[in-house]
Amino acid sequence: MVTVIEAIQGDITALDLDAIVNAANTTLLGGGGVDGAIHRAAGPGLREECEKLGGCPTGEARITKGHRLKARHVIHAVGPVWRGGAHREDELLAGCYRASFALAAWHGIRSIAFPAISTGIYRFPRDRACRIAVAETRRFTTLSGALGRVVFCCFDNETLALYRAEIEG
């Protein structure tokens, strides 16, 4: 199967896909930015389910139901805080994508959307994060025919332009 990889600008909480990825913190209990938006949209059942998971280390991911979201699952990926680039940030961010794709494959997910993990409050440089995200997506989709659609859901025009250029390049 050919995987469609695309970038859009919009509200990740409104997407009707098998899964959306949450740019989570290590507690998995909600926070600011996309994390808070997903928790608010999904309702209290998401937090209750996340409480049972006991957190998640940076560079890894966990999966829950989508609760009140259109998406049937939420994959919570914990990206690294940018500390200058010499603290395994690239490796940890790539790990978020690998772990998310592994969970997607395991759970039979055919369509998935990612935010720009770690590029908000965690200050990971957007262009660098974009290159890692698209490279890991291409790596997974080349090795596996499990996904039909991967969406990068961008918050602003600048991020959207970065993702579209990287996908086309």
Residue 11 is a catalytic residue: no
Residues 6+ apart with CB under 8 A from 118: 23, 79, 80, 81, 82, 89, 93, 96, 124, 129
Choose, from 11, 16, 18, 35, the residue flagged as catalytic. 35
The whole-angstrom separation of Cα 60 and Cα 62 is 7
CA–chain centroid gap for 115, Å, is 5
One-letter amino acid at 92 equals L
Nearest C-alpha neighbor of 93 from the set 106, 109, 77, 71:
77
Residues tagged active-site: 35
